[in-house]
Amino acid sequence: MSSPVPNPVSICVIGSGYVGLVAAACFADMGHKVVCVDNDEARVKLLCDGGMPIFEAHLADLLNKHRGRNIIFTSKLGEAVEKSEAVFIAVGTPQGDSGAADLSYVEAVVSEIARSISNYKVIVEKSTVPVYTNDWIRRVLYRHGVEPSHFDVVSNPEFLREGSAVVDFLHPDRIVVGAGNARAAGVLRRIYAPLSDGSYYGKKSALPGPCSEKAPAKLLVTSAQSAEIIKHASNAFLALKISFINAVANLAEDVDADIEDIAAGMGLDSRIGPKFLRAGLGYGGSCFPKDVAAFHWVAQQRGIDFQLLQEVRKINETQREVFFNKVLSALWTLRGKRLTALGLAFKGDTDDIRESPAIEIVKKLLKAGAMVTAYDPAAMTRAKEVIPPAENLKYAADLYEAAKDADAVLILTDWKEFAKIDLAKLNRAVHFPIVIDGRNLYKPAEMQKHGFTYVSVGRSANYQAQEGKPRKPKA
């Protein structure tokens, strides 16, 4: 159990998705009392009973540790707001048809919060929202008759990576607090004090990570507008790095250079750094696609031509076509071909398939007439809801079962498991020794040593001379 916090805060977190559930669990581990609210009764019951609605490292452990003590789950928003000093809004902000973030869920929650405010509360934007959302939240509260002295609105954006969200929350690069006055900022300082003063890292039960008592998390206080832009600008810049290295990869491949060497050389420059310089299928997930689109929309609304963001999106979309064409080049035709798809999540260490390049590739393969057998360590249940099993689509129990008698193996997600394949065993399983790697998990020389034709991103394809030799007949 967590050691008592000298000055704990009663916290309400509205929303039990990735952001809300991780925030609630981490606040509880820091020593605060947390009520996590969701209007989905089935989800609340699942959480109360010890179930897990999402796959995320360390999250189940923290919830099991604090459930019923530092954290409780409920669907009664009004009661939770009344008992809390800080109310974090962590509901979805999906992308609308115009590219703008759909803030209807945020507005609905704020309207409900307004009915339960009788004394001072700090309303915190934790969802990713466009600039000036803080002003709109304030207006909605005013319209519902809430006294100005009873609330402040603060922006506290999250910078979490799915698959490492819990560590990212408890060991952040920075904590950004966009507050309009010292009183509101003071409440957020109290909440994050265990991280910013280092006391959390001194506990035996603290989750290990890069921060420590001597090097605690850094807290930056800005205006609400600056905090809102920091979130969108950060995600847009990371998406830019991914699109940039993919554009360079296409050039590198055309001139017989190696994008892995190029990325390593660039990443050694401290001004650039190695992170997000991984060529592949492009970005996906619930954040980058919608945040880049929303940031571009915000700029357009203010009369600013932020054309760079449009190019980032264009390169990312094109990258899936580039990979699909690699498959075509390696196999000539796809109709009737047996293909193995390794990976369905948009990245490793998560079961999230939202905007997944892997899912898009599988759909294109099926449309082209291929027969696909897919495997993912965590995302198959979610994938089956989007692309159900069929005569031309099977789901396998492991990667070697998925590869049995395959004409080619496609690596679509960067799971660690896929970087440690027993290549000799894989060669025995497949019909033709062809690997088309959309994540550059292997070195061409290693694949050549094990008898594979190897096609990757931003590197010359390595075709085996023996590929034309007869192989065992298909089953």
As a whole number of angstroms, the distance between CA 375 and CA 396 comes to 5
Angle subtended by helix axes 182-196 and 18-30, to nearest 10: 70
DSSP-derived secondary structure letter, 409: E
As a whole number of angstroms, the distance between CA 257 and CA 274 comes to 18
Q: What share of the chain is helix, strand, coil (3-state, %, to 5)?
A: 45, 15, 45
3-state secondary structure of 183: helix
As a whole number of angstroms, the distance between CA 473 and CA 471 comes to 6
Query: What backbone phi and psi angles, to 5 degrees, belong to 48?
Result: -65, -35
The answer to whether 156 and 227 are in contact (CB under 8 A) is yes
| Ramachandran category for residue 336: left, alpha or beta (phi over 0 → left; psi -120 to 50 → alpha) | left
Select which of 12, 26, 36, 287 is catalytic: 287
The amino acid present at 320, given as its one-letter code, is R
Dihedral sign computed on CA atoms, order 358, 364, 367, 373 = negative
DSSP-derived secondary structure letter, 3: P
Whole-angstrom CA distances from 211 to 8, 167, 171, 200, 391 are: 21, 10, 5, 10, 50
As a whole number of angstroms, the distance between CA 65 and CA 63 comes to 5
Sequence-ordered alpha helix ranges (H) in 256-337: 259-267, 288-301, 307-331
The amino acid present at 241, given as its one-letter code, is K
Q: Which helix (H) or strand (E) holds 349?
A: none
Q: Is 48 a catalytic residue?
A: no
The answer to whether 77 and 39 are in contact (CB under 8 A) is yes
Which positions are annotated as active-site residues? 287
